Structure 1
Amino acid sequence: CRLLLLRGAAELPFHHPALLPLWCYASGVVLTFAMSCTAHVFSCLSLRLRAAFFYLDYASISYYGFASTVAYSYYLLPRLRLLDARALSRYLQQHLGWYVDCSLPLALYSSLVLPVAFVLAVTCTVACCQSRSECCAYPFAIRTFVFAMPLSMACPIMLESFLFDLRAHNPTLFVYFYRRYFWLLVAAFFNVSKIPERIQPGRFDIVGHSHQLFHIFTFLSIYDQMHYVEEGLLNFLKAPPTTPTYLGTVGYMLLLILCLGMVIRKFLNVADLCKQD
């Protein structure tokens, strides 16, 4: 509801190209929560359905990670001084003492950020589905690490804060960005450590289970992310550096759905898919 009622987007029709990355991001947020609820509710029906629903859950998380990158690539990354060749070259000249032309590597990064994020989304889904096999010794650690990989697409924002004083020129992005990653670290801690039920088995089976805490802190991270994506959209609408296209936004998402569907179908055809974890 918050995304639908953005003040800065109120005068634009819903099909306006500037809002396409926002709808991609919103679809990722809605889908990952919906599939997580579905997987937990219906996973008790049978071992095969349990595997199928959690495969869909992993795929939805990868979909959300890629959708976030789509929003970043249009609303946030183009406004970073780190990705401005002139600003970065000037910074390196001041600190290294010699001129470095950064235009080519930055242009290469900008052109590859979405394809690389796409490949990561598919690869992460494959790895998470594979973690449900009987031969996987540390499934929760693997899934936590794999889910963290798409977050690396936000590294330019972190580098921006180190090199160009992000706190001063964009305090909203700085505060919400780092608070989001704090929540993610807390969520990862509970997901891997299995605290508190490991300390007192049986006491937290209904309320206070580590996986419940994991979901709560994951939600808080997405809620903070939504704030700085919203801020990025409002700044984008003031002076759009580029115009999002249907092919570069919705087209990518549809292709990703097709690829993730093929991955899930492949794993459902494997005999050894019924690990109970």
Structure 2
Amino acid sequence: MPTPTDLSSRSADEEKVLPKKTGKTIARLKELLYYRPLLLKQHCDMPKFCRERHIYTGYRPNPSSIAYCVRSMFHPTNETFNFWTHFVPLIFLAMRRRDLSIALDLDCQEVATLSAPYFAYSLGCCVLLLCSSIAHLFNCVSIQARHLCFCIDYGAISFYSIAATVAYSHLVSPPHCHGFDAGSSTLYIPAAAATVVLAHIVCCHTRFPHIKYRYVLRTVTYAVPFVLISLPTMMRMSNLIFNVATNETLHDGHYRYSQSGSIPRSSCGIAGALDDFASTKSTKGHCDLASHVFPTYYPAHLLLFLLAAIINMSRFPEKYFPRVFDVVGSSHQWFHIAIALGIIVQSFIVEEAMFDAIDSPGILHSVTWLSNITFLSTMGWLVSVSAILIVTVLIYTSILPC
């Protein structure tokens, strides 16, 4: 039987062995997680390419290590809240997409087809928020890395834009339903793709030091494809306003909720539909999907994106209150919040349109409607545009001055 002396000597031996096996790992974790003030710099101490207008304090050194960038997630710098204001919405949207993908009966071919534009749109949203978060976290690794991060960030905006175009074209506001002829409807996605690629090139070009009014240029550049992409949806909104003004009856269709009230369900498309609604059919037409939320959510989406554009160009409040909002409350942080909320509101519209389409017998059994939703018309556009965006990023990263 071991004596107390033997036990104490054994524990002492274990303490000696433990650092040999895990000492380096523990040291790395302590370096990353142990809270100690970061070495931050002033505006005048930073390279010219790393300065932000009207932001004077809270800069991370450039160059910095990857470990330093990760640590800065939990320290008050002028990029910390830029990271979290898009990373938190990313987690929210990713978890919601996971829940909806579980709820959807994707073994049903018609449901899988109708949900393809929604998942393409979801991918665009997540890529935008992820690339924005990464760009603001790692842009201080080097000057070239800074150019790379933000060129990727601009590309993610274009990627999200073409994903939203796919969702609008197939679900929310098909162009042929809202004043566009067959030829214009066919050119809707190609025109949007060309516009977002051009917008990406212009935004990357604004990173050259001789370009003036770069924030205004970037905002206006992406406002053009936004208006083009939103034209059918804006026409739908104007038709709704006209109908209300003339006291015409709006068609709301039918919608069902799960027992939790959070995830809509359909007798064909959603797993575990309520028995009470198993035989109920929707009479919603393919031109007025999500009509029960569209009049409320779409104006909110437009207002949030308009607010984001104004904030990004005005540089309020840091322009008028120097050094006060460098770390918390700068215009770019409010810009991020408005964009994230606008995307979340827009995602609700796309979700409702998808569920209405699944819930509608006329659409669910329409060969013409389903045949228009293919891999090439959804993910194919995303892959094609992303390839061009990647080439643009590589070219500008190589030619931008460091």
TM-score by length of 1: 0.85
> Per-residue deviation at 1:12?
2.4
Change (3 A) 1:80 1:227: farther
- Structure 1 distance, partners of 2:330, 2:296, is 29
Size of the aligned set, in residue pairs, is: 252
Matched ranges for 1:159-170 at <5 A:
159-165=235-241, 168-169=250-251, 170=291
In structure 2, what is the equivalent of residue 174 of structure 1? Answer: 295
> Per-residue deviation at 1:11?
2.0
Matched ranges for 1:1-277 at <5 A:
1-6=95-100, 10-13=104-107, 16-78=112-174, 81-83=177-179, 106-152=181-227, 153-165=229-241, 168-169=250-251, 170-237=291-358, 238=360, 239-240=363-364, 242-243=369-370, 244-270=373-399, 272-274=400-402
> Per-residue deviation at 1:39?
0.5
On the 8 A contact 1:82/1:164 being kept in 2, the answer is no
Change (3 A) 1:146 1:255: same
Change (3 A) 1:10 1:245: same
Q: Which moved more, 1:6-15 or 1:49-58?
A: 6-15
Question: Which deviations, in whole Å up to 9, do the C-alpha atoms of 1:44-102 show, x marking residues without a partner?
Answer: 1111100001000000010001100001110022387424xxxxxxxxxxxxxxxxxxx
**Which amino acid in the other structure matches residue 207 of structure 2?**
R
Kindly, what percent of the aligned residue pairs are identical?
A: 30
Question: Root-mean-square deviation (CA), in Å?
Answer: 2.1
Change (3 A) 1:248 1:81: closer
- Structure 1 distance, partners of 2:318, 2:97, is 36
- Structure 2 distance, partners of 1:180, 1:194, is 21
Change (3 A) 1:163 1:8: farther
Local SS of the residue matching 1:6: helix
> Per-residue deviation at 1:42?
0.6
Q: Which moved more, 1:192-201 or 1:72-81?
A: 72-81
Higher helix share: 1
On the 8 A contact 2:175/2:232 being kept in 1, the answer is no
Q: Which runs of 5+ in 1 are unaligned?
A: 84-104
> Per-residue deviation at 1:150?
2.2
Structure number with larger C-alpha Rg? 2
On the 8 A contact 2:148/2:393 being kept in 1, the answer is yes
Local SS of the residue matching 1:2: helix
**Which amino acid in the other structure matches residue 5 of structure 1?**
D
Q: Which runs of 5+ in 2 are unaligned?
A: 1-94, 245-249, 252-290
Name which structure has the greater RCO, CA cutoff 8 Å, separation 6+.
1
Change (3 A) 1:145 1:9: farther
Runs of 4+ residues over 6 Å off in structure 1: none
Q: Which moved more, 1:241-250 or 1:217-226?
A: 241-250
- Structure 1 distance, partners of 2:223, 2:108, is 32
**Which amino acid in the other structure matches residue 204 of structure 1?**
F
> Per-residue deviation at 1:156?
1.7
Change (3 A) 1:8 1:44: closer
